[in-house]
Amino acid sequence: MKKQGAGLRDQGVDGTAKVGPARKRPVSAGPTASVEAAVAKITPARLAAFEILKLVGENKGHSDELLHSARVDGLSPEDRNLTTALVMGVLRWQIALDARVRGLLQRPEQRLAEPVAIALRLGAFQLLHLDKIPAHAALSESVELCRAAGEPHATGMVNAVLRKLAAKPTSQNRDVGHPDLRSGRTVPLHESVAAFAERLGHPRWLVERWVAAYGREAALMICEADQREPAKGGMFVERGGDWPVMDDGSRLVAEIAAAAMPEAKRVWDCCAAPGGKTLILAKRLGSAEIVASDVSAKRLAQTEARLRRYAYAERVGFSVADAADAKSVTGEFDLILCDVPCSGTGTMAGNPEIRHRLKVEEFVRQAERQRSILTGALKRLAPGGRLVYSTCSLEAEECEGVVDAVVGAGGVVRVPVDGVMVERGVLSGEMGSAVRDGALRTLPGVHGGDGFYAVILERA
Ligand SMILES: C[S@@+](CC[C@H](N)C(=O)[O-])C[C@H]1O[C@@H](n2cnc3c(N)ncnc32)[C@H](O)[C@@H]1O
């Protein structure tokens, strides 16, 4: 692997942030010789991964965007792959890694400076999860990352902790247990919810909610699915060619929306960016005029550029609009897709950092916004028209809670999704458990693809 020259230290992933000393010395003083020397010993992939993890931890960017920044694009393919594996892996396993590291500290309750914690996570992740990385590389570069970040006093501790981790045979680094006859997985004996939440890198409070909502076995499967690369998809026979590449759960929602009103003439995709579901609507509803709108002008412009590459999307019109404000679009629609912004707890395999940012209050805040978007969109639904409300959240507040409140206010009725799916042949396979109370409810690891909720409402 190529060694990183000191010049890159000044070039942050987003063009602003830097690995160099984070405190004490003024920037004008320039980097110290020891920092320069440390940076020179770090490979580009680990340096980039460290910077991205730091930015994500400071809430200054999303892993997905940062991993597609110019800086990362400029790395060799091997370094790009390693950077992605390190960033996504550390974010997925952070809670479990921190627990392992804590157990090896002389004072487990001590609070580590963030750059030190990141260097330890990077080292521990490589030692525990990446078979092809030599232990000495994982260990020594974490030590150098610590030094390069202006934390030289912590290098001894980082070295000692990672050495202890590396010294244990692999079997002691992995959990041992017994085979579960139903799933074929190896599961630890008598494992509490708190224990499997930590083992699988999830906040306990979130997993406890899933156990209460879906049962222990499903919660375990969700956690396991979140720790894997997102599945490539395979639920639908029609794919490849000019079909968009998208998650199966997301595709299923779009297919249900198209099937809900196949004869629709005017269609509004009111939260459209980045446009995956718009493409399915355009593909399925060959004679409909489709309006794709989003409140974000930037995201809508990117969506338009993406959709223009598909000939069948030429009937799609684009408009920046706040769906909560009924006046932002004109006329009535016989089909509306309301794929609202949400917490995204059904998408944590691809968006692992969600779990670190979430707070329980977030669900109520999201629900308020979702209720106002759904209420605004419904004002544009023609009599007899149908609206599909969907989220990629696993949380009842954002799903059933929003729909119950809006249906309770009158003017719309629910149409069972299973009826539409069977009648219109959306899926031929077994999806029985993905329908609850007439709504679609897919769970990661249980149904394939991300976790989605969708319900069909009809204007009375
Ligand atoms: C879950 S994403 C939509 C994904 C999209 N339907 C797809 O399948 O590619 C939610 C979108 O809603 C947009 N949004 C948020 N608030 C909105 C509002 N008040 N009106 C319209 N769009 C909004 C966000 O900018 C975001 O692009």
DSSP code per residue over 187-220: E-TT--HHHHHHHTT--HHHHHHHHHHH-HHHHH
Name the catalytic one among 223, 270, 342, 392.
392
312 CA distance to ligand 1 middle (Å): 22
294 is in an annotated binding site: yes
* Cα→Cα distances 352→71, 219, 319, 344, 357, Å: 21, 16, 31, 10, 10
Atom of ligand 1 nearest to the CA of 391: 1
223 is in an annotated binding site: no
List, chain by chain if needed, residues with CB within 6 Å of any ligand 1 atom: 250, 270-277, 294-296, 299, 322-324, 339, 341, 373
The first and second tokens of residue 418, run together, are 């299973």
Instruction: State residue 123's pLDDT score.
Output: 98
Query: How many Å apart are CA 288 and CA 417, to the nearest integer?
Result: 22
Which residue out of 281, 294, 339 has the highest number of ligand 1 atoms within 8 Å of its CB and is therefore the one to mutate?
Answer: 294
Higher pLDDT: 308 or 16? It is 308
Name the residue at shortest CA distance from atom 12 of ligand 1.
Answer: 271
322 is in an annotated binding site: yes
Burial of residue 163 (CB within 10 Å: 0-12, 13-18, 19+) is: middle
Catalytic residue check, 338: no
pLDDT in tens, 145-188: 999 999 999 999 999 999 999 997 454 444 445 555 555 666 66
338 CA distance to ligand 1 middle (Å): 8
Residue 62: which residues within 8 A CB-CB, separation 6 or more? 56, 351, 353
| Distance linking the first and last C-alpha atoms of the chain | 65
Q: Is the pLDDT of residue 27 over 60?
A: no
pLDDT in tens, 313-353: 999 999 999 999 988 899 999 999 999 999 999 999 999 99
453 CA distance to ligand 1 middle (Å): 15
Q: What share of the chain is helix, strand, coil (3-state, %, to 5)?
A: 50, 10, 40
pLDDT in tens, 350-383: 999 999 999 999 999 999 999 999 999 999 999 9
Atom of ligand 1 nearest to the CA of 254: 8
369 CA distance to ligand 1 middle (Å): 11
Residue 386: which residues within 8 A CB-CB, separation 6 or more? 260, 261, 334, 335, 336, 415, 456, 457, 458, 459
Which segments within 257-331 are labelled E, that is strand?
266-269, 289-294, 316-320
The first and second tokens of residue 94, run together, are 């952070």
Percent of the chain exceeding pLDDT 90 equals 77
Atom of ligand 1 nearest to the CA of 270: 21
Instruction: State residue 369's pLDDT score.
Output: 98
pLDDT in tens, 411-444: 999 999 998 888 777 766 666 789 999 999 999 9
277 is in an annotated binding site: yes
Q: Return the ∠ at Cα 271 (arms to 70 and 258), rounded to 5°.
A: 115
7 CA distance to ligand 1 middle (Å): 39
Name the residue at shortest CA distance from atom 25 of ligand 1.
Answer: 296
Residue 118: which residues within 8 A CB-CB, separation 6 or more? 50, 53, 54, 57, 90, 145
pLDDT in tens, 244-274: 999 999 999 999 999 999 999 999 999 999 9
Instruction: State residue 143's pLDDT score.
Output: 96
Mean pLDDT of the chain: 89
For residue 404, how many other CB atoms are within 10 A of its CB?
A: 12
Atom of ligand 1 nearest to the CA of 269: 6
180 is in an annotated binding site: no
